[in-house]
């Protein structure tokens, strides 16, 4: 049985709490609180008729839609079974002897490098710098570095990296023949995302790979759909052959094509997340809980009470993400998603009740 390393495990939470899984409010998973767009849902349902056929192994129509949405050539896109599929394919294709990841960060970067026997170096994001990448990241990159993973905005801190620093890192890596993967899966939740995205650097740097996913912004984690982009055609061909074929189902392809038409939905989401994030920050700050700056749809918290906040909240039917297994964080760190106004109020109410017991 897989251990709960990412959150979103409502099944284990239901077992422990005795509460029906459908009644648990999942703050551990950073999914769009507006839910699945109706047209995406309908496209997925309608596509079941095509389940009798093998999916298009080249995801032609999906990649055409991504190409238009991202304004990049179709030949620069690889579609995958979620961003995690692409992460592992990248590590298995490049097989770097040495790689760099930030700490803390999404654990699958480290796990994928470990799976191919890489030596991993950690760039520690520190509290004194608000968990932001600094210019000294460049000093960690040398002739032995073959792959760098960055997350922008970072998960779990929610911090965003200045585009100037991002390009310095890419340029330095380009000089050394080092690949850079930038995970932009949460960038769709960020205001003025174009100011931070590295997509327009793809043409200039063929060592750059950008990860995106439909999972979070369109609220379809169960469908499993993501993609990566690079102007390096050798890399994209390598990703295709390093893993199994038919990695994107007919249902996922149909849902993705429909999702990319939902411009108004994404714009509404960005405004809604900003409003609700501000509400959570305001209320949490009254409860002797430290909240770190975030540009994304989640918040990193630090509590000072000697309680297991995750275990206490799950008794109330609320699941949050313990960050105790993130390298660089500890047992008093937690991550919560920004959810609907009603759900956010229930979380604050539960926290106030717990604080009243201290």
Residue-level pLDDT at 24: 86
Residue range 334-343, pLDDT digits in tens: 999 999 999 9
CB 170 within 8 A of CB 190: no
Multiple choice CATH, 10-30+263-357, 3.90.1150.10, 3.40.50.970, 2.40.30.260, 3.40.630.30: 3.90.1150.10
Residue-level pLDDT at 12: 57
Residue-level pLDDT at 356: 73
Does the pLDDT at position 21 exceed 90? no
Does the pLDDT at position 3 exceed 70? no
Closest residue by Cα to residue 126 from 100, 157, 82, 160: 157
Residue-level pLDDT at 6: 46
Name the band, by pLDDT with cuts 50, 70 and 90, for residue 355. Answer: confident
Residue-level pLDDT at 304: 87
Does the pLDDT at position 161 exceed 80? yes
Residue range 29-45, pLDDT digits in tens: 999 999 999 999 999 99
Give the largest CA-CA distance in the chain.
Answer: 59
Domain map (residue ranges) of the chain: 10-30+263-357, 38-259
Average pLDDT over residues 124-146: 95
Does the pLDDT at position 2 exceed 50? no
Name the band, by pLDDT with cuts 50, 70 and 90, for residue 14. Answer: very low
Q: Which two tokens stand for residue 66?
A: 């991504």
Question: What are the beta bridge partners of residue 322?
Answer: 334
Does the pLDDT at position 188 exceed 90? yes
**Dihedral angle sign, alpha carbons of residues 125, 127, 133, 138:** negative
**Dihedral angle sign, alpha carbons of residues 318, 323, 325, 330:** negative
Question: Which secondary-structure segment (H or E) carries 150?
Answer: strand 147-151
Name the band, by pLDDT with cuts 50, 70 and 90, for residue 288. Answer: confident
Share of the chain above pLDDT 90, in %: 89
CB 285 within 8 A of CB 143: no
Average pLDDT over residues 222-247: 96
**Strand pairing report for 289-291 and 298-303:** antiparallel
Average pLDDT over residues 202-210: 98
Q: Is 247 helix (H, G, I), strand (E, B) or coil?
A: coil
Multiple choice CATH, 38-259, 3.40.720.10, 3.40.980.10, 3.30.470.20, 3.40.640.10: 3.40.640.10
Does the pLDDT at position 92 exceed 80? yes
Average pLDDT over residues 177-203: 97
Name the band, by pLDDT with cuts 50, 70 and 90, for residue 18. Answer: low
Average pLDDT over residues 230-250: 96
pTM of the model: 0.93
Residue range 22-32, pLDDT digits in tens: 678 999 999 99
**Strand pairing report for 25-26 and 318-319:** parallel
CA 221/CA 121 separation, integer angstroms: 30
Average pLDDT over residues 100-129: 97
CA 141/CA 138 separation, integer angstroms: 6
Residue-level pLDDT at 162: 92
Does the pLDDT at position 83 exceed 60? yes
Residue-level pLDDT at 287: 92
Quickly count: other Cβ atoms within 10 Å of residue 130's Cβ: 11
Averaged pLDDT score across all residues of the chain: 93
Does the pLDDT at position 15 exceed 80? no
Average pLDDT over residues 147-154: 98
Quickly count: other Cβ atoms within 10 Å of residue 304's Cβ: 9
The CA-based dihedral angle spanning residues 260, 264, 270, 272, taken in that order and rounded to the nearest 10 degrees: -130
Question: What are the beta bridge partners of residue 98?
Answer: 119
Residue 345, exposed/middle/buried by CB under 10 A (0-12, 13-18, 19+)? Answer: middle
């Amino acid at each position: 049985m897989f251990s709960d390393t990412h959150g979103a495990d409502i099944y284990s939470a239901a077992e422990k709490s005795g509460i029906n899984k459908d009644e648990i409010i999942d703050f551990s998973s950073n999914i769009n609180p507006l839910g699945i767009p109706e047209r995406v849902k309908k496209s997925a349902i309608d596509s079941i008729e095509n389940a009798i056929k093998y999916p298009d192994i080249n995801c032609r129509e999906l990649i055409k839609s991504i190409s238009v949405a991202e304004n990049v050539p179709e030949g620069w896109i690889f579609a995958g079974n979620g961003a995690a599929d692409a992460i592992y394919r990248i590590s298995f294709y490049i097989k770097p002897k040495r790689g760099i990841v930030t700490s803390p960060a999404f654990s699958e970067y480290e796990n994928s490098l470990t799976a191919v026997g890489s030596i991993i170096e950690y760039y520690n994001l520190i509290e004194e710098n608000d968990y932001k990448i600094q210019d000294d990241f460049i000093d960690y990159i040398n002739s032995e570095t073959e792959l760098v993973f960055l997350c922008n905005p970072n998960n779990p801190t929610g911090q965003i990296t200045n585009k100037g620093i991002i390009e310095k890192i890419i340029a330095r890596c380009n000089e050394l023949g080092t690949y850079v993967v930038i995970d932009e899966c949460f960038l769709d939740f960020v205001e003025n995302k174009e100011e931070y995205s590295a997509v327009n650097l793809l043409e200039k740097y063929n060592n750059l790979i950008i990860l995106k996913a439909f999972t979070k912004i369109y609220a379809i984690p169960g469908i499993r759909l993501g993609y990566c982009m690079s102007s390096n055609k050798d890399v994209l061909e390598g990703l295709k052959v390093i893993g199994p074929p038919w990695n994107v189902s007919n249902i996922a392809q149909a849902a993705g094509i429909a999702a990319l038409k939902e411009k108004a939905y994404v714009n509404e989401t960005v405004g809604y997340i900003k409003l609700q994030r501000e509400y959570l920050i305001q209320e949490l700050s009254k409860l002797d809980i430290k909240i770190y700056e975030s540009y994304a749809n989640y918040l990193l918290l630090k509590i000072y009470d000697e309680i297991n906040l995750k275990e206490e909240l799950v008794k109330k039917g609320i699941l949050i993400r313990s960050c105790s297994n993130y390298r660089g964080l500890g047992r008093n760190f937690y991550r919560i998603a920004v959810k609907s106004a009603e759900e956010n109020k229930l979380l604050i109410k539960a926290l106030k009740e717990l604080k009243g017991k201290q």
